Amino acid sequence: MTRRPKLKAHIGLTLALVALLTSTVLTEGGCAKLNYKQTATNALQATHLALSSAQDVERQAYAAKAFPGLTDEKHREIAGFFAKAFDAEIKTADALIAWRAGDPPPASVAELQAVTHQTLEAAKAIVPAQAELISKIQVVVEQVAKVVLAFRGGQ
């Protein structure tokens, strides 16, 4: 549990750095290429917010024992998927700093997309009747799709 504040701080700092770099540096083609990087940055920031929100819903529901069937074991399983998603998000934010429009998307983008889909499927299997959690994770999946599009648009 103590890792989460550090994780959020790292992600926030990384995304702020990416935003600063994309707003101040124009290279290799100017504004058109910069827009792809800024779009990817914005989508990744929205992904982080959606992922944090979904994790908060799950943690609060677990603490309140609000989801029938959300046992300690199931909670740990879902938490594991969230941890993988945050890890892939950090890797993507780090890769975004070095990424240039025209480069292929970093491998972490595909990893982020895969793990968010896995998180959604796990939540559907573990707590299928919990519409709020599932809809929050669906928002994460939608935001990650925007990240993928932003990286692919810069090719």
Q: Pick the residue with more confidence: 9 or 92?
A: 92
CB under 8 A, 24+ apart: contacts of 28-34: 28/100, 28/101, 28/102, 29/101, 29/102, 32/101, 33/100, 33/101, 33/102, 33/154, 34/101
| pLDDT value at residue 26 | 43
Residue among 148, 120, 12, 147 nearest 58 (CA): 120
Range of the domain at 133: 3-153
Contact (CB, 8 A) for 82 and 51: yes
Q: Looking at residue 87, which CATH number applies to its domain?
A: 1.20.1410.10
pLDDT, mean of residues 28-32: 48
Name 128's bridge partners: none
Residue among 3, 64, 40, 69 nearest 147 (CA): 40
Q: Which positions ≥6 away from 98 have C-beta within 8 Å? A: none
Q: Does the pLDDT value for residue 22 go beyond 80?
A: no
| pLDDT value at residue 67 | 81
Q: What is the pTM of this model?
A: 0.78
Q: What radius of gyration, in Å, describes the C-alpha atoms of the chain?
A: 16
Mean pLDDT of the chain: 83
Q: How many domains does the chain have?
A: 1
| pLDDT value at residue 86 | 96
